[in-house]
Structure 1
Amino acid sequence: HQPSADRNLIAHLGTSVFATEAKNIVLLGPPGTGKTHLAVALGVQAAKHGHRVLFDTATGWVARLQEAHSRGKLAAELIRLRRYSVLICDEVGYIPFDQDAANLFFQLVASRYEHASLILTSNLSFGRWGEVFGDPTVASAMIDRIVHHADVL
């Protein structure tokens, strides 16, 4: 229970219309405020509404993409992931990314832009994402794509 959360917005997000419309959800706040819990709950609701959903941490998604890239299958993996209506990306910003990891994460975000939904959780404000991704330009481009069609809580 997060008293500062907009209950009407959360109820609306629980209808999973965001997934049908390929919109994103971004949950920002300090540790222990229920971001991951809410992300998982929204993912479960999306699955109940017939959407395919996958969950991993930001570092887990990057590791998956690094492995695909090393096999020469990055493009195919990004296309395969688009078959999922919703990807939940937990803990964006807990561990800084090197340049290659930041580029892979950007490619994940860009490949889903206006095609499929992301639910992201982070304990950092958008203003600090440049520190995580090591490049303010990459972070800014990523944030633009994420928030263009998004609800940010």
Structure 2
Amino acid sequence: MNKKEISKEIEQFATSLRLPGIKKYFQENAKEAATRDISYEEYLYGLLQKEYDLRQEHAKENRIRLANFSYKKYLEDLKVEHLPDDANRKLKVLSSLEFIKNGQNVILAGNPGTGKTHIAIGLGIKACLAGYRVAFTTIPTLINQLKESRSEKTLHTFENKFAKYDLVIADELGYISFDKEGSELLFTNLSLRAGRKSTIITTNLSFERWAEIFQDPVMTAAMVDRLTHKAYLVNMNGNSYRLKETEEWIKNQNIA
């Protein structure tokens, strides 16, 4: 077999064995090995390293894709000077992702436009890059999924999957109220995660107003108690982060 035929066979083997890094780099590494008089072991090591790195990169991309973020927002894009004071103080601690390791919750509570969802998604993407399994959803969407699963008799399967995520981001608690069934399903599934896996909740309501959406004072008290136990409570009340971003954008347009 000549060199060209061998290369073609290697490509086919790499494709069949699902080794995209080796398929992509084996010829490039072989030329380098020949030029620099690299040993067979060093050549194989370098090739496997590239295969590993490529798989790690693909895994990160897949975790971000499967998390189903409504849009991509990164912590690095935050203008911390525009954030409410409490968020500014706690962001460094949250960015370490120790809260996920410890199974702690994060509650971002405050008026609209102050950066709650941006922080939540930014933490979620960082968690994906760190190897954690993450799911993003809004509270209304989650309740609809739970109801549909119950009616289709697949609730147990859905709950098992939901409970295994390292981090669930539940956005927009408080924008709409829900019925008794929705309240009970949400309570059950968020409670199952409490103390075991982390949940980030964004809400525009203070805790004393949660009864307005759960419509059950006893359930509301139990929900607040379980979600806030050893949790990071971040006061997001302040001037609109989005408004400040818009004002800065307009200012830059005028300068241009």
Q: Which has the larger radius of gyration?
A: 2
Give yes or no for the alignment of 1:151 onto 2:236.
no
CA contact (8 A) 1:92 1:121 kept: yes
CA contact (8 A) 1:15 1:45 kept: no
Superposed CA deviations along residues 8-63 of structure 1, whole A, max 9, x for unmatched, are 42111111111111100000000111111111111111112111111111001111
Candidates 100, 114, 118, aligned match of 2:195:
114
Tell me which residue corresponds to 2:103.
22
Candidates 37, 44, 57, aligned match of 2:118:
37
Query: SS in structure 2 opposite 1:106?
Result: helix
Deviation of 1:78 after TM superposition, in Å, equals: 1.2
Which amino acid is the alignment partner of residue 107 of structure 1?
A: T
Tell me which residue corresponds to 1:91.
172
Query: SS in structure 2 opposite 1:115?
Result: coil
Q: Distance in 2 between matches of 1:46 and 1:142?
A: 25
Alignment TM-score, normalising by the size of structure 2: 0.58
Tell me which residue corresponds to 1:51.
132
Candidates 208, 221, 224, aligned match of 1:140:
221
Deviation of 1:111 after TM superposition, in Å, equals: 1.3
CA contact (8 A) 2:173 2:202 kept: yes
CA contact (8 A) 2:106 2:232 kept: yes
CA contact (8 A) 2:84 2:114 kept: no
Deviation of 1:7 after TM superposition, in Å, equals: 3.2
Q: Distance in 2 between matches of 1:118 and 1:136?
A: 22
Deviation of 1:149 after TM superposition, in Å, equals: 2.3
Tell me which residue corresponds to 2:246.
none
Q: Distance in 1 between matches of 2:84 and 2:199?
A: 24
Aligned residues: 153
Q: Distance in 2 between matches of 1:113 and 1:91?
A: 19
Q: Let me know the Cα RMSD of the aligned residues.
A: 1.2
Q: Distance in 1 between matches of 2:101 and 2:188?
A: 22
Deviation of 1:3 after TM superposition, in Å, equals: 4.0
Q: Distance in 2 between matches of 1:22 and 1:69?
A: 27
Q: Distance in 1 between matches of 2:148 and 2:199?
A: 21
Query: SS in structure 2 opposite 1:72?
Result: coil
Give yes or no for the alignment of 1:78 onto 2:165.
no
More helix by share: 2
| Ranges in structure 2 where 5+ consecutive residues have no aligned partner | 1-81, 235-256
Give yes or no for the alignment of 1:101 onto 2:182.
yes
CA contact (8 A) 1:39 1:88 kept: yes
Structure with more relative contact order (C-alpha pairs < 8 Å, separation 6 or more): 1
Q: Distance in 1 between matches of 2:232 and 2:216?
A: 24
Q: Distance in 1 between matches of 2:133 and 2:147?
A: 23
More strand by share: 1
Candidates 89, 92, 105, aligned match of 1:11:
92
Query: SS in structure 1 opposite 2:232?
Result: strand
